[in-house]
Amino acid sequence: RVAEALAELAPYAGERGVKLALEPLHPVYCPDRAVLSTLGQALDLSLAHPEEQVGVVVDTFHVWWDPRLPDEIARAGRRIASYQVCDYLHPLPADVLLGRGMMGDGVIAFPPITRAVLAAGYTGDIEVEIFNADVWATDPDEVVATMKARYEDVVLATG
């Protein structure tokens, strides 16, 4: 169904200067939110279309666990339309949608993913995307200060 929809939507979007981006979601979301669980699945579907029309999203929360992730990021190359970071908290809260944490508070090793994304040729923004009630309830100035420090010390860490 996704391939059929892309066949119709990609040319339409491309004619209007819009690039569609396929975002795989962690397998925990398969029952109710997603049909793509790996970057490889998203990339395979995107390859039938010009890279200006269909790309992929590398969202650390959703793809960190995939043992093929480094190879798939390299294969994606310029098709990477977005790089999103936040951490995967363990154990997950009852509402798994809110299981995203500040980088460094969970289980994701960010530097190898970031290096792979940049080595693949991605030059766009790196988005911090955290769905977490505790973060939302924290003073915004504190959240931004923590986010900036963690971005430099955790996401972009070279060690």
Model confidence at 157, in pLDDT bands (50, 70, 90)? confident
Indicate the helix (H) or strand (E) that contains 54.
Answer: strand 54-59
Model confidence at 156, in pLDDT bands (50, 70, 90)? very high
- The domain that contains 136 carries what CATH number? 3.20.20.150
- What is the C-alpha separation between 75 and 70, in angstroms, rounded? 9
pLDDT per position as a tens digit, 101-115: 999 999 999 999 999
pLDDT per position as a tens digit, 1-35: 999 999 999 999 999 999 999 999 999 999 989 99
Domain that holds residue 150: 1-155
Total domains in the chain come to: 1
pLDDT per position as a tens digit, 50-103: 999 999 999 999 999 999 999 999 999 999 999 999 999 999 999 998 999 999
Does the pLDDT at position 159 exceed 60?
no
Instruction: Return the ∠ at Cα 113 (arms to 50 and 152), rounded to 5°.
Output: 115
What letter does residue 138 receive in the DSSP assignment?
S
Token couple for 138: 């924290």
CA 108 distance to own-chain centroid: 12
Residue 104 near residue 150, CB atoms below 8 Å: yes
